[in-house]
Amino acid sequence: MHDEHQITDKKRWSEVFRTNVRATWLIVTLKDGTEYFIDNTKRWHELKRYCDNNEVFLSKLSIQFKSHRERIDITNIDGIYFAKSVVGMLGAESKQTYTIGKIKDGVVHKTLWLIPELIVEKEYKDYESGCFEESIIYDKKKKN
């Protein structure tokens, strides 16, 4: 069952988008054809629950701010990680980021996207233990 707070159709997304034009969105298409428009980690966690309960995984993933959209290649992965984060240095201005990690063979290939600019700030490899478990969606059909 879909959560009532999830945005799963373009008409509703358009309405919500106009009320918050400063939001950075994840646009997700599942292998069952359902589209999700996600603007916060709560909605990502709800999507994770839906995917886990229905053994469905993502087929497409994009990140978007206003009309700027970047497609993220998620072919041939075991799972996907998403977290909102802040990068900061003493005496410097903090930067808001979305961290998107593609999991393959136990290694998480993380990309930190500056938001709202949608510029790649950093890319690096991590282990699944370096991720918040509640923020990982696994392809259950590959994992079992």
Residue 3 lies in a domain: no
Count of CB atoms situated within 10 Å of the CB of 107: 14
> What pLDDT score was predicted for residue 4?
46
Candidates 3, 113, 116; CA nearest to 49 is 3
* pLDDT digit string (tens) for the chain, length 144 residues: 344 456 666 776 666 767 778 889 999 999 999 999 888 889 999 999 999 999 999 999 999 999 999 999 999 999 999 999 998 888 888 999 999 999 999 999 999 999 999 999 999 999 999 999 999 999 988 765
Residue 4 lies in a domain: no
Q: Give how many domains the chain has, as a whole number.
A: 1
Backbone angles phi, psi at 60, to 5 degrees: -140, 150
Residue 23 lies in a domain: yes
Residue 116 lies in a domain: yes
Candidates 56, 48, 124, 123; CA nearest to 81 is 48
> What pLDDT score was predicted for residue 62?
97
> What pLDDT score was predicted for residue 20?
77
Burial (CB < 10 A; 0-12, 13-18, 19+), residue 121, is middle
Separate counts of helices (H) and strands (E) for the chain: 3, 9
Stated as kind and residue range, the H or E segment containing 50 is helix 41-54
Residue 113 lies in a domain: yes
Domain that holds residue 22: 10-143
The pTM (predicted TM-score) of the whole model is: 0.87
- DSSP-assigned letter for residue 42: H
Residue 2 lies in a domain: no
